[in-house]
Chains A and B, each alone.
Chain A
Amino acid sequence: AQKVTQAQTEISVVEKEDVTLDCVYETRDTTYYLFWYKQPPSGELVFLIRRNSFDEQNEISGRYSWNFQKSTSSFNFTITASQVVDSAVYFCALGNDMRFGAGTRLTVKP
């Protein structure tokens, strides 16, 4: 069965703190895609990253970084030096049947 678990329902940090959002997935597929999406208060869903299962290199994009570990079935997302504009709900998703996690609500306080 395909499953994505985001165990952290809500996280609150103070601006400039680093924060890691956890994502653990289950799949029997040998080839799959993982995604992160951001849903700010305005409601739209914004694509952040796609990772395929045979590329375990970590990725960095500005203040955002992603750690993909196949051995632990995890695809964690770190925001460095968080900002108030990072406040949003973040979803991890497993791409083969587009299964989304429940989301983590991140609040960054000034």
Chain B
Amino acid sequence: DSGVTQTPKHLITATGQRVTLRCSPRSGDLSVYWYQQSLDQGLQFLIQYYNGEERAKGNILERFSAQQFPDLHSELNLSSLELGDSALYFCASSVVGRGEQFFGPGTRLTVL
């Protein structure tokens, strides 16, 4: 158990809908990262937050957004969902910006 929690574990929704994925980092970790893992794209970095501020952006679509709250938990919002957004979404946390990251169990999103 990495100490990072993600909810929900599974999410099934329809195209055009909006969903929110939630992540709680390990106690003491200020950095939160979001990743998307799909069969065709592999594991892709989406976005990083550090102590509430956006720190780095990867291949995140404009339809996606994230934020980190004062209690350090983070949410990833996915809107106008498309079939291709079906993937496993991981959250990870670390103490410092470039330290080892500890991953949550992931949220499996299925868009029908």
Binding site for B on A (CB under 8 A): 33, 35, 37, 43-47, 50, 91, 95-100, 102-103
B residues contacting the other copy or chain, number (CB 8 A): 21
Complex contacts, B58 vs chain A, CB 8 Å: 97-98
Binding site for A on B (CB under 8 A): 2, 33, 35, 42-45, 48, 56, 58, 88, 90, 92, 98-103, 105-106
A102 and B42 form a contact (CB under 8 A): yes
Known pairs A37-B103, A97-B58, A103-B43; list 17 more (Cβ under 8 Å).
Answer: A35-B100, A44-B103, A45-B90, A45-B103, A46-B2, A46-B103, A47-B100, A47-B101, A97-B45, A97-B56, A98-B35, A98-B45, A98-B101, A100-B42, A100-B44, A100-B45, A103-B42
Given contacts A97-B58, A98-B33, A103-B43, contact A47 B102 (CB under 8 A): yes
Q: Nearest 3 A-B pairs (CB), nearest first? A: A45-B103, A98-B45, A100-B43
